Amino acid sequence: MKRKIFNLILGQAFLCSMIACQSQKSNLTFENQGDSLTIVRITHPTKYLLLPIQEAASEGKVKLDTGSPADMAMDVRLAVDSIEYYVPFELPQGVEEATVTIGKVPSGAVCWENIQLSDTFNTANTDYYRPIYHHTPLYGWMNDANGLVYKDGEYHLYFQYNPYGSKWGNMHWGHSVSKDLIHWEHLKPAIARDTLGHIFSGSSIVDHNNSAGYGKDAMIAFYTSASDEHGQIQCMAYSNDNGRTYTKYEKNPILTPFDGLKDFRDPKVFWYEPAQKWYMIVSADKEMRFYSSSNLKDWEYLSGFGKGYGVQPNQFECPDFIQLPVDGDKNNMKWVMIVNINPGCMFGGSATEYFVGDFDGKEFKCDTKPEVTKWLDFGKDHYATVCFSNTGDRIIAVPWMSNWQYANATPIRQYRGANALPRELSLYTKDGQIYMAANAVKETEALRKDTRNIDDFAVKGEYKIDEIVPQTDGAYELEMDVTPDKAQVVGFDLLNAKGEKVKVYLDMKEGKLVADRTESGIVDLARHGEMNVHEKETDDHRKTMSVNYKNDFALGTWAPLSLCEGKTYHLNVFVDKCSVEIFVDGGRIAMTNLVFPTQPYNTLRFYAENGEAQISNMKIYKLGL
């Protein structure tokens, strides 16, 4: 990443403790008080202090010191041995001097000679694996989507965000907006970590009736503050500038667990018309809890649901609660509880399940037995899926595209974390059961820049298309109808000149759609992480578990073809630099997987085993913004 470099003459400042040295050109004074504390004084501060980062380093404590009790130290992995990239630390403007304190960083660390002042920060893409058309942060870490809400022609996507490095930490609500769910404008973080804790996941609503007293159509955000000191508590904030900035409620928290529960987070608030009240669903360890309120500030407990339901073992997180018509019939409406779990994925790690049933304003009754699990996505990299509020009849969900088993170790530096394509949700019946489909939103059709039509063909053995779309840079969509006929296996490989490939095929004997990424490119992520651990967002945010990244990443995922009608299967396959998303029959099967090829996949190789199959209505679209 190119940076504006300043001539900082700082090296001798750290030979002795308690010595201040004024750089001749930087307006920076460093007072080193040993490894425990360094005071940085900045005269006529620029917009940013650029901090050098080394991801393997321990976290230091960096705080803008204004003398206020609200000053919050951020956890920053300042470079000790080598510099991998920089992050901006915003400084106050229009003041003569600013003070930043830095603790827990060795006096001999290389960061001290390389901290820079600047009025700009270069966010131009420098990472090979940054997607072409998926939403990512400009820099830093991103996980769960939060506070999804539509207002005045804008979709607001808030997200778990660390602006001070590309690993989990310092949870803020990052913020992007879009008018079409495809083109995203990056804005400043909307809600910052504070003395109550990290700003964990939550939701936002448009307060049409001024229930909270902050004005008609104010935007209200609900989130979990999480810290060792306060635990996990539910808080709120309001915005009167269309979600750009939020003011935190002066009496936070608005809800704490009545039983002292440790894992109590991710509030989703929605309007329940029959009761003319606001309802909240909160993840509470291994169940969900319902609450109601008339003013969005005082909440009454109603009931709990989920203990013993779905895949086991699990940890319930990031709930959503939506109502949908069955098979498009608005006279037959069902409630759906979306539950994100970690662990519990059928392929390991984190995943999203759902329950269909009825809700009487107090309790949710599930249609299926506790042991029945219904998956919203059958890939390895689909988590923390939640829906936009205020979108009328459309229910649009956005997942985080990663897995907690290796999220901190993906071979990326400038940013980490992407959202999968937005999906429109619907209910359909199959074999007497109600299932939820998740299809790519129709707005994705605007990504199509060039189209190549492929004549219908039969596959027996192998059929190869050498060049998918010229100059795609790894961003395209495949659309086709696949009729297996008598073939026991029919599918295709996405591959490049190095032989790296993703295998996508229908196994008719086993009744499965399979996506195999065992040879997809970089699959041993341990070589690209600092150690063989992964970090999971908990209240102490430092719980670690030993894992083998290669075995956790290099695998195949599968989905039951019984969810579809059979005979002919309609596939839409979206490929984008580091991901492959498959939608079958309008989202009856959705499958989301990360991949890290060292060259774009530019060849298609079809094959069929033990019989002939038909490929028809095939189109190849070059995609771009």
Name the residues annotated as catalytic. 144
| Cβ-contact 422, 181 below 8 angstroms | yes
Short-list 275, 298, 287, CA closest to 362? 275
Dist. CA 267–CA 260, nearest whole Å? 17
- Sign for the CA dihedral angle at 464, 467, 473, 476 comes to negative
Cis status of the peptide bond prior to 422, with omega within 30 of 0: no
The answer for residues whose C-beta is within 8 angstroms of residue 452's C-beta and 6 or more apart is: 469, 619, 620, 621
Q: 3-state secondary structure string, 84-103?
A: CEEEEEECCCCCCEEEEEEE
**Phi, psi (rounded to 5 degrees) for 561:** -70, -10
Dist. CA 426–CA 433, nearest whole Å? 14
| Cβ-contact 380, 515 below 8 angstroms | no
Dist. CA 621–CA 450, nearest whole Å? 6
Q: Does residue 597 sit in helix, strand or coil?
A: coil
Q: Does residue 559 sit in helix, strand or coil?
A: strand
Dist. CA 458–CA 448, nearest whole Å? 26
**What is the token pair recorded at 233?**
């508590």
Dist. CA 604–CA 621, nearest whole Å? 14
- Residue 344: its H or E element: none
Short-list 114, 47, 60, CA closest to 85? 114
104 — alpha (psi -120 to 50), left (phi > 0) or beta?
left
Short-list 465, 487, 490, CA closest to 476? 465
Classify residue 27 by burial, with Cβ atoms within 10 Å: 0-12, 13-18, 19+: middle
Going from the C-alpha of 249 to that of each of 72, 234, 235, 241, 283, the distances in angstroms are: 18, 11, 7, 16, 22
| Cβ-contact 408, 470 below 8 angstroms | no
**What is the token pair recorded at 452?**
């190549």
**In the beta sheet, which residues pair with residue 264?**
284
Q: 3-state secondary structure string, 390-435?
A: CCCCCCEEEEECCCCCCHHHCCCCCEECCECCCEEEEEEEECCEEE
CA 248 to chain centre: 24
| Cβ-contact 469, 579 below 8 angstroms | no
**In the beta sheet, which residues pair with residue 475?**
576
Short-list 454, 345, 361, 464, CA closest to 406? 345
Indicate the DSSP class of residue 547: -
Cβ-count burial 358-390 (b if 16+ within 10 Å, e if not): ebeeeebebeeeeeebbbbbbbbbbbbbbbbbb
Cβ-count burial 228-263 (b if 16+ within 10 Å, e if not): eeebbbbbbbbbeeebeebebbeebbbbebeeebeb
